[in-house]
Amino acid sequence: MQNSSLIDAARDYMLAQYQQHPHPELVYHNFEHTQQVVKAAAQIAAHYRLQDDELQAVYVAAWFHDAGYLLGDSTVHEETGAEEAVRFLQGQQAPEHIQTMVKGAILATKMPQSPHTLVEQIVCDADLFHLGSKEFADRNKLLRREVEMRTQQEIPATTWLTGNIKFLSNHEYWTDYAKTYTKQQKEENLQKLYKRLEKKSVEAQEEKATVVAASVPDNTSTTPDAQLIAKAKKKTPKPDRGIETMFRITSTNHIRLSSMADSKAHIMISVNSIIISFMLTVLVRRIEDYPNMIIPAVIFLITSVTTVIFAVLATRPNVTSGTFTKEDISNKNANLLFFGNFYRMKLDEYEWGMKKMMEDSEFLYGSMTKDVYHLGVVLAHKYRLLRISYNIFMFGLIGSVLAFMIAGIFFPVKA
């Protein structure tokens, strides 16, 4: 990327800011968090074809998005951070449109988030990327500790867990990449919060039972905590990573076997093409001198040609329609994971279909199942034709050699 010096300058500037303005209470909103947001922003941005200026804006905004925590009131840290980023960019003589993009991206991270451009969406998703990562539990503990240190008040576990559950349940990523990449882990994180809340609620009830008379009416079933726990139990279990791993390994194995079949077919085609060329250029010209070899030579030619035909059939691609309809999507009949079903579609139509599929886990896993199935069917067809090709070559070669021997021994050419 061009002009990466601006990004390096932003990193060095923020590192210096964290060193010059130490805040021991910022155990979450620290330089490590900023680095993680920058890493997440780079990961998301790599999925999209951004212009150099857009990519610079993403990086700079990620470096400065929490600068306001060091320089002023945390309640308006987005505004403070945006102003500090603009001052930095002006000092670097950055173009005005980059300043505008950076400022807009930082302000868009203010809760509730309100991104309008792809650059702003990437920065917003990067800021909360940990919600769908395995580091969520550790980062969440640091955030709770920071809030307690800043407010000088201890937060009850059930209160904190309830707030986290509501936040994760209502949160949605903005970019398609973040939605897809974090979906499974985010759901796992949410389920762990539900389990922890249930455990803490049981512990709280047991503790309460030791100090409250047994005659006190039990109304815990109507509390918000109990409602959240009940909701968690009613949630449909999501497929775990083992299923996704199974699909990935199965598809990879099928593709590898298909590549092996193509290689074997290529060997058959190459070898028999050489044999055919030799027969036509050498033996045919001397067939008059060896009339007894006509039948063996014909058998050999027929064997080679037939072998090549079946080898070519094994590698010949099938042409499909390359289109799907909204009715196919509604009925979950279209497999959008295979290029042959969408290569004639317009990009916006394909994106619409993919979004519909990603929003419906049943449709998504159904498409993956169909894709694996059809890969297996194509693979079986390839290997069946390839087996026929090898059998023809093997038995035809044996028959041809025997024919040449019989012709040479029992029907020699008379001098």
* Residue 104 to residue 107: CA distance in whole angstroms: 5
Q: Which residues contact 192 (CB under 8 A, 6 or more apart)?
A: 137
Residue 284 has what pLDDT?
A: 66
Kind plus residue range of the DSSP H or E element containing 142 = helix 136-151
Q: Are residues 276 and 400 in the same domain?
A: yes
Q: What is the pLDDT of residues 23-78, one digit of tens each?
A: 888 888 888 888 899 999 988 888 887 888 888 889 988 888 888 888 877 788 88
Residue 71 in any domain: the answer is yes
* Residue 191 to residue 277: CA distance in whole angstroms: 67
Q: How many CB atoms within 10 Å of residue 54?
A: 19
Tokens of 13: 């500037």
Residue 394 has what pLDDT?
A: 92
Residue 56 identity (one-letter amino acid): Q
For 107, the domain range is 1-127
The per-residue DSSP string of 217-267 comes to: ---GGGSHHHHHHHHHHHSPPPP-HHHHHHHHHHHHHHHHHHHHHHHHHHH
Residue 14 has what pLDDT?
A: 87
Tokens of 116: 């309008």
Residue 337 in any domain: the answer is yes
* Residue 255 to residue 261: CA distance in whole angstroms: 10
Q: How many CB atoms within 10 Å of residue 233?
A: 8
* Residue 312 to residue 386: CA distance in whole angstroms: 9
Residue 402 in any domain: the answer is yes
Residue 65 in any domain: the answer is yes
| Predicted TM-score (pTM) above 0.85 | no
The per-residue DSSP string of 54-116 comes to: HHHHHHHHHHHTTTHHHHS-GGGHHHHHHHHHHHHHHHTT--HHHHHHHHHHHHHTSSSP---
Residue 369 in any domain: the answer is yes
Residue 23 identity (one-letter amino acid): H
Q: What is the pLDDT of residues 202-227, one digit of tens each?
A: 776 766 655 554 455 555 444 555 55
Residue 334 in any domain: the answer is yes
Number of domains in the chain: 2
Show which of 127, 150, 170 is a domain's final residue: 127
For CA atoms 123, 128, 131, 135, give the dihedral sign. Answer: positive
Q: Are residues 397 and 273 in the same domain?
A: yes
Which positions of the chain have pLDDT values less than 70? 1-3, 204, 206-242, 284, 319-322, 413-415
Q: State how far the alpha carbon of 120 is from the alpha carbons of 78, 125, 174, 292, 348, in Å.
A: 13, 9, 9, 82, 21
Q: Are residues 404 and 257 in the same domain?
A: yes
Question: Residue 9 maps to which CATH number?
Answer: 1.10.3210.10
Residue 1 has what pLDDT?
A: 42
Residue 323 has what pLDDT?
A: 72
Q: Are residues 246 and 379 in the same domain?
A: yes
Q: Which residues contact 143 (CB under 8 A, 6 or more apart)?
A: 28
Residue 309 has what pLDDT?
A: 93
Q: Are residues 246 and 392 in the same domain?
A: yes
Residue 387 has what pLDDT?
A: 92
Residue 265 in any domain: the answer is yes
- Coil, strand or helix: which one is 20? helix
Residue 286 identity (one-letter amino acid): R
* Residue 355 to residue 339: CA distance in whole angstroms: 16
